[in-house]
Structure 1
Amino acid sequence: MVLPSLCLKASAVLWQIEPILVMEQLGSTLYDTALQMVVKDRCANATYPDGHLSREDSQQKAMSDFYMIYNLIIRLTPILPALLLARLGDRGWRKVPIVVPLSGYLLCRLGLLLVVVFRLPLEVMFGAAVVFGLSGGFCTFWPAVMTLASLGSTTTDRSKAMMRVELLYGSVGLVGSLVSGHLFLLYSSSLGNGTILLIVSTLLHLLSLLHSIFLLQVKQVPSPEPEEEDCHVLSDSSSDVPVEAPAGINMVNVVLLFAAAMLYDVAVGGAIEILGVFVMKEPLSWTATQVGYGNAAGCTIFLTSFLGVIVFRRCVSDAMLILIGMLSFALGIFFMSFVTATYMFYLARSLNLFALIPMPTIRSLLSQQVPASSCGITLTSLQLSLKFAGLAYIPTFTKIYQGTLDWFPGFVFMLSSIFTVLGMIPISIVGCRLPRRHQYERIQGD
C-alpha cells in the first residue's frame, strides 16, 4: 500500500510547478557561476587609456562595466513584456507567463554557451540579455510561479504553499551553487573549462521549458471565502488573524514604506552589483569552486530569512521584523568593507542571515495600507519604482567602486550600509504610526 501511495504522490507532483522550478533554479545557479568566470577570463587582458591603472584594476573596471550594462538591460527590458504577459495570465492563459520567460532563459543560456564554444565576443551577452528581458525574465516568471502556487491551494493553506515554494527555490539554489564550481572545472580538451557546466545548464532549461509546455497543469482550488482578495494572502502578517484592508489609502504610511523600500533596494542592489566583481580581485582572487560556494552562501541567506520570519513573527510586529532584517544586512555589509580573506567573507555573510526579510514584509505592510481594490496597482507601482531606481544606483555604485579601487575598494559596501540605516528611519516612523493591535492580536485570539 505504501508504494502505490508514493507513486500517486510522485505522479501528482509531476503535473505541478515544482519540477519546473527545480530545473530552472538549478540551471540558473550553474549559469551564474559560469558567467562570472567567463567574464573574469575575458576581461583579464583589458586595457584602458589611463596609464596609471594596473592590470588587475583594468580587469576590475572591465568586469564592473560589463555587469553595469548587462544588469541595466536585464532590469529595464522586461517591464513592458512583464505587464503584457501578466495581463494574459489574468485573462486565463496561466501557462503563458511561465512558458515565454523559460524560452528567454533557454536562449540566454544558449548564448553564453555559444560565446564559450565559438570564442565569440563577450558583448554578444548584451544581445542575449535583451532577448531574456523581452521574454519577461525573472520578474514575469516568479510572479507566475507564485500565482500557480496560490491557485492550487485553499485560502487558509495559501501562505504555507507559497512559503514551501520559496524554501524549495532557496534549497535548490544552495545545492546548485555548491556543485557549480566543481562542474566548471570539468575539462573538455577541445572546448575548455565551463562548456560542460553550460551544457548541463542549457539542458536543464530545455527540460523545464518542455515540461511547462506538455506536462504542467493549472489547477484552481475553489475558495470557501470568495470575497477574500489575493493581496491579503500575499501578506505575511505578524499574526495569524486576517487583517482587514482599510476603507481608504493611508498615504503617509504608503509614502514612508515606498521610501524605505527604495533606500533598501539601493543598498542591497548596489552592494550585490559589486560583490561578484570584488571577490575576483586580490587578496581574495576566487576560483570557480569558491565562486560556487559564495553563491551558495547567498542562497543560505534566502533560507535563514524565511526561517527568521517563522520564528520572529510570533513575538514582534511587522515593522520590527523589517528593522531586524535591515540591521542584519547593515552589519554584514559594513563588515564586508574590510574583508581581506575568504573566511572573513563568510563571517560577513553570516551576519546577513535575515537580510531578505525586509522587502516581502514591506510589501505585506503596504498591502494593509490600501483598499483591496488598490492592492495590485500599489504593489505593481512599487515594483516599477524599484526597477527605475536601478537606472540611478547601478551606474553610480559602479563608478564609485572604480574610483575607489586604489585606496578603499570596500567603500561601496560602507555606502550601502549607510543607505540601509537611512531606510530604517521611515520604517521606525511607520512602526510608531501603526495600531498596536497588530502586535498583540495573536495573544488576544488565544
Structure 2
Amino acid sequence: MKRLFFVEPVIALYTLPGMVDVLLIQQYIYRRIWEKETNSSYIENGSNFSCHQNHSDPVYMKQQVVQGISSHFFMYMSLLQSIPGLIVTFILGTYSDHYGRRLSLLLPTVGAMLASLGFLAVTYFSWPIYVIFIPVTLGACFGGFTALFGGAFAYVADISSIKHKNMRMALLDMIVGVIGGIGVLSSGYLLRIVGFNWLFLSTSLINFTNIVYIIFFLEESIQVSRDDQDQVSGCDKFREILSGILILCTTSSFRKRAQIGMLLFAFSTFALVDFGAAGLFTLYELNTPLCWNEILIGYGSAAGLITFLTSFLGVTLFSRYLQDSCIVLIGMWSFVGGMIMAIFATTTLRMFLVRLVSLFAVMPFPVLRSMMSKLVSSKDQGVLFACVACLENVGGTLSSTIFNNVYAATVEGFAGFSFLLAACLSLIPVFILCFLLCWRPQEEDYTGLIISDDSS
C-alpha cells in the first residue's frame, strides 16, 4: 500500500482532542475547586455560571479565592509537563535526524491518548482532582505537543523547498487554529449535552485514529535502511543524539550562529508572553465583570483560534512583498495591540474585539521557524526544531509560572495587569527583530549555509 507524505492530518487529529481536553480539564478543575471552597454546587444560571459581582457579597470573596487557587493549580500542571517533555522532545528531535520522523509523531500521540483516558477515569469515578497530575505527567513523558509539533515542522522542512517553507509552516499553524477552533467552539454545547465523560472518551478515540494513520498511512520523510539502523549500537545512537546540538552550533560561521541564537531568543520570549497571556483568558472570562459561561468561553476560544487562519493568509500575502523580519514585526505589533485592548476588556464586546485586533498575532511563530530553518543544513532540521520545541516548552512553563502567579496576586486589584505585562515583554523580541532587519537586510543571506552545504 502506497503511503502518504501528508503530515497535516496528524496535526489536525492531534489538535482537535488536545484543545478540547485543555479547555474541558480547566473548567472541570474550576468547578471542583468551586464546590470545595464555596461548599455549594456549580449551578448554571442563565448566561452566568455562579458568577457574583457584588463586592460586599461573601460569595464574591470566595469566588476570588477560587480564581487564585485555580490559577496556581494550572501552574502546577504546566510545571509537571515541562521537565519530562523537555527531555523527550530533545531526544526525539535529534533521533529523527538519523532514523526518521515518524517516531517523534507517534509517541506524543500515544501519550495524548493515555492522558485523555486518564482524564476520563478522573471524571467518571470522581477521583480527587490532584489525580489529574498523573495523566498530565504521563502524557509529558511521551513528549507532548512540543515533541509532536517539533517533529511535524521538521517533516515539513524535509519535503518543502526553501521558497515554500513560510507557507507550509504557516499552514500547520493554520490547521491548529481552524481545527482547534472547531473543537473549542463545539465543546461548550457538547459539554451541556453529554457531559465530561463522553467528551473525554471521544478525544481518546480521535487520538487512537491518529495513531492508526501514523503507523499505516504516513510515509517517512527520511529514508534510513534497516541495515544502517542495525549496524549502529545503542551507545552510538545516544552519542549521536547528544552531539546533535553541538553540531548545530559549530558547523556554521559566527554570523549564522549569532543570527540563530537571536532568533531562538526572540522566539522563546514571544512564546513566553503569548502562552502566558492566552492561558489566562479562561480564568479572566469566568471572573467578573465578564462572567462568561461555557458557551461564551467556547465562542471566545474559537474566535481566538481564528487568528491562526488570518495569520496564515497574512503570511501567504506578505511573503510576496515583505522580508521575513517585517512579517514577524507586523504579527508582534498585532499581539501587543490585542493585549492593550484586553486590559480594558470589561464587556463581552470588548473581549471579542481583543481577538479582532490580534488577527496577525500568530504570524511570528511560523515565520521565525522558517527563518531558522533556512539558516541550517538539511541534516540538522530535526535538532533545530527539537531546540525550538524545547524552548517553546520552557517558555510555556515559565509563562504559566509567571503569569499565573501575577494574575493570582493582582486579580482583586487589577485583573488586567497580566496583559499589560505581556505587552511590555513583547517589546524585547520586537527590538531583536529590528536589529536583525538592520544587520541583515538581504533575504539571500538565509540560504548561504544551505547552498554551501549542498555544494560540498
**Short-chain TM bin:** 0.7 to 0.9
Q: Distance in 2 between matches of 1:93 and 1:306?
A: 28
CA contact (8 A) 1:309 1:321 kept: yes
Quote the residue 1:8 is aligned against: none
CA, structure 1 residues 335+46, in 2 after alignment: closer, same or farther (shift >3 Å)? farther
Q: Does 1:364 align with 2:354?
A: no
Q: Is structure 2 residue 294 aligned with structure 1 residue 304?
A: no
Structure 2: which amino acid aligns with 1:31?
Answer: D
SS at match of 1:284: coil
Question: Comparing 27-36 with 389-398, which one deviates more in the overlay?
Answer: 389-398
The alignment status of 1:394 with 2:382, answered yes or no, reads no
2:215 equivalent in structure 1: 213
Gaps of 5+ in 1: 1-10, 188-192, 222-244, 442-446
In the alignment, is residue 102 of structure 1 matched against residue 109 of structure 2?
Answer: yes
For 1:432, which of 426, 433, 438 is the aligned residue?
438
Q: Deviations over 1:197-236 (max 9, x none)?
A: 2222122112222333344443669xxxxxxxxxxxxxxx
Distance of aligned partners of 1:302 and 1:47 in 2 relative to their CA distance in 1, 3 Å threshold: same
* Secondary structure of 1:185 counterpart: helix
Deviation at 1:13? 8.3
Pairwise CA distance, 1:116:
1.0
- AA aligned to 1:205 is N
Q: Structure 1 residues 355, 80: closer, same or farther in 2, change over 3 A?
A: same
> Please, what TM-score do these two structures have when normalized by structure 2?
0.78
CA deviation profile, 1:13-36 (whole Å, cap 9, x unmatched): 888544443332222232223212
- 2: distance between equivalents of 1:345 and 1:194? 26
Cα deviation, residue 175, structure 1: 1.9
Partner of 2:85: 78
Structure 1 residue 158: Cα displacement? 6.3
Q: Which has the higher contact order (CA 8 A, sep 6+)?
A: 2
1:235 maps to what in 2?
Answer: none
Q: CA deviation at 1:59?
A: 0.9
Worse-matched range after superposition: 35-44 or 323-332: 35-44
In structure 1, which of residues 63, 66, 69 is the aligned counterpart of residue 70 of structure 2? Answer: 63
The aligned counterpart of 1:38 is 28
SS at match of 2:426: helix
User: Which residue is equivalent to 1:238?
Assistant: none
Other-structure match for 2:176: 169
Give % identity.
25
RMSD: 3.3
More helix as a share of residues = 2
Q: Deviations for 1:253-304, whole angstroms, at most 9, x for unmatched residues? A: 4454344334322321221222221111122222222222122122211111
1:195 aligns with 197
Contact map agreement 2:311 2:363 (CA 8 A) in 1: yes
Q: CA deviation at 1:102?
A: 1.1
- In the TM superposition, residue 118 of structure 1 has moved relative to its aligned partner by 0.5
Which structure 2 segments of 5+ residues have no match? 39-57, 224-250, 448-456
User: Relative to structure 1, is the Cα distance of residues 88 and 317 closer, same or farther in structure 2, using a 3 angstrom cutoff?
Assistant: closer
Q: Which amino acid aligns with 2:213?
A: H
Residue 194 of structure 1 aligns with an amino acid whose one-letter code is: F
For residues 97-147 of structure 1, give each alpha carbon's deviation from its aligned partner in whole angstroms, at most 9, with x where no partner exists. Answer: 222111100111111111111101111111111101100111121233334
C-alpha deviation, 1:357, in angstroms: 1.3
Q: 1:329-352: CA deviations, max 9, x gaps?
A: 001011101111222111011111
Task: Determine whether 1:329 maps to 2:335.
Answer: yes
Residue 370 to residue 435, structure 1, CA distance change in 2 (3 Å): farther
SS in 2 for 1:176: helix
Question: Which of residues 337, 347, 367 in structure 2 aligns to 1:341?
Answer: 347
Once the two structures are overlaid, the 10-residue window that deviates more, 146-155 or 395-404, is 146-155
Distance 1:69 1:321 in 2: 35
In the aligned structure 2, how far is the partner of 1:436 from the partner of 1:150? 22
TM-score by length of 1: 0.79
Given residue 197 of structure 2, which amino acid in structure 1 is its aligned partner? T
Q: 1:13 to 1:277 in 2, by over 3 A?
A: farther
Paired residue secondary structure (1:45):
helix
Q: Would you say how many aligned residue pairs link Structure 1 and Structure 2?
A: 401
Does the 8 A contact of 2:343 with 2:417 survive in 1? yes
1:28 partner amino acid: G
Change (3 A) 1:376 1:34: closer
Residues 229-248 of structure 1 correspond to what in structure 2 (within 5 A)? 247-248=253-254
Q: 1:24 — aligned with what?
A: 14
Distance 2:81 2:320 in 1: 37
AA paired with 2:307?
I
> Equivalents in 1 of 2:257, 2:308: separation in Å?
31
The residue type paired with residue 120 of structure 1 is: W
Matched, 1:284 2:286: no
- Name the structure 1 match of 2:126: 119
Q: Which residue of 1 aligns with 2:145?
A: 138
